[in-house]
Structure 1
Amino acid sequence: MNEQNSLTLIAREPARFDPVALDQLETTSRLEGMDRVVGLPDLHAGNGIAVGAAFWSQKRIWPHLVGSDIGCGMALWETSLAVRKFRVGKVERKLHGLDEPWDGPAEHALAKAGLPPELASPALGTIGGGNHFVEFQRIEEVVAPDRFAELGLKDDRVLMMVHSGSRGLGQAILQEQMARHGTEGLHDGAPDADAYLQRHNQAVAWAVVNRAVIANRFLDALGMSGNCLLDIVHNSVTRHREGWLHRKGAAPADCGLVVIPGSRGDFSYLVEPVPDRADDALYSLAHGAGRKWSRKDAHARLSRRYRVADMLRTKLSSHVICEDRRLIFEEAPEAYKDIAGVIADLEAAGLVRVIACLRPLLSYKTRAS
């Protein structure tokens, strides 16, 4: 862990961070009213704002630090299917039509979450683009057997991880804020701040509903049932110790178990936050491996070396469904950092305890029909 004024870097070797990401983090730390900034091990450059970071201010809220995908996060489901019965080919053949609008009772699903019917949208129940996905996994290793058993988890069931957010809703909210205020912070208690927080909270709730609908669509397509083990949010602003905690690509360390995914060709980790040192990292954890290359660079580097067909299997023998020719290169495993190193950084900082390691079986991005 490396500290400099109000900026803390969680890493064994901070010099390995991308200088552009560090510059973005430093710029944010100098905002008037910014009290603390933390860069997590998956830190990487974003669109003006570093991703993999947490920001705390006593008096101000900055919507642009949360970004456009308000409520984006991960849900992990334990399915009814035994690992020994999982057949990749059979599953692949059944996963069709899941990019189309959901034909279920959208208004009813939103109402159960306390959301108004006007937030119903054709995007509800769809994954979206970018780094969003649904991935089927199995337990590769139980690292903490006693804790695993205490949590009532099963090591013989297929798991399903859903990564998605608020789709166009969060983007519309941010665009409105930027048009009114730009990157200027909103003062705690001001009418504009209260109005943003109300819409922000709706987008977070919408994203949670979206992940649940996505999960149930996939379970229904495969004739399975399942239960949600966790749902965590990566992009948000929440009340924290008489101030405001912004997370931009950061998992919460104060909401129970966390799943931290690698790339589609690497392991994911189920971890339990350790409370003793949580404040060192603003009660936040890495939300994934973090990008090593930008999407543009990944496409340029890999599309010249590989065919699309080469990208449909990973080094772990997992399968990939992605019929977007550009996206399959942009989101390739090579474009991401080593997830084992990210987890080791969190462990070295005393922030997490690893419960289990998860192996990918099938990653779903998008399909034409």
Structure 2
Amino acid sequence: MQATTPSRTLSAQQVLLCGALIVTLSMGIRHGFGFWLQPIITERGWTRETFSFAIAIQNLAWGAAGPIAGMLADRYGAWKVLIGGGLLYALGLVLMSVAAVPWAFTMGCGVVIGMAQSGCTYAVIYGVLGRTVAPERRSWAFGVAAAAGSFGQFAMIPIETLLISHLGWQMALWLLAGSALLILPLALGVREPERPVVVGGQSILGALREAFGYRSFQLLMLGYFVCGFQVVFIGVHMPSYLRDKGLGLEVSTVALMLIGLFNIFGTYAAGMLGQRFPKRYLLSGIYALRAVAITLFVTLPLSPMSVYLFSAVIGFLWLSTVPPTNAVIAQIFGPAHMSMLGGFVFLSHQVGSFLGVWLGGRLYDATGSYDVVWWLAVALGVFAALINLPVRESPIRRMAAA
């Protein structure tokens, strides 16, 4: 039984365009944070672990706030959450630039930016897409949005390195803060009509009990943990790893650009393939290929060409887990609570991110090498490949009965 009828509809094309631009900005800005490690710790006199810990807290705050942001977006409207996320993003970048002591840097770069990202990235955008795009095209739409975030990662790398080299790292952060405010007008483009109130619909607690009691949801969370560990460790620490090996800044710049470039193709391909093949096999294959790529990277002789080849391959696999994972969630549980459930799965991703980026700095300071973390990333990739195989993609019995 419905209490009201929506007076207007939201165009899927409009949601895709505005949502893609929002994700381009939010993901693009953060992708270059690794380039701030060296200038910040050099000027402030900090260790790599200090910077790594702040980024680790950022990922943990992002994950912890994700379910709340998703719940608010599902209940009160994604556009309101996006506006709040954009404002927090700008504030966090400003605080990151002026912090003179580690705890203040951790608050700005870690807590504030992490909370901001929970409100203006995939989980919130995917919730609107899941309610706007037809079920048979959701996987494709998720792939398009993820590809947009990948394009942001590709496009922002040269911009950020140029800003740092010409204006200094602090002024560069102020300019990025200004660009984050562009999220505010774009948020109005995904403003949904008032949705009908469904009498007797599933409650938030009911949705949570159902999801966390479902084995496939648990397995998806474990797989996403591995995804977070791998990509954030590589994204933050690879520039310093390459510098330690005697390769210049230009190699790191091209490497991260290639990750962003090939990520565009990988995420879009994952969205397309998710419409044609079982998504659990797609996810298993992605994690297995990551393990192989990292193994070859750390065992073969290092050169600019080997770095570029690794970056292209790992870039193709970078966020290709995002469309099929979210499509499976929508397929199993439906779109009503998708932002919230996606937020909880992403919380697992960010716990992995926290450990990946923090252990990278911690173990480097303890051993003088990243080798242990590289091999840990390989082992986790094999683990994730195996646990995604038994995931069941069919709608939960409640959905089938409805």
Relative contact order: is structure 1 or structure 2 higher (C-alpha 8 Å, sep ≥ 6)?
2
More strand by share: 1
Q: What interval of TM-score do these two structures reach, taking the shorter chain for normalisation? A: under 0.3
TM-score (norm 2): 0.23
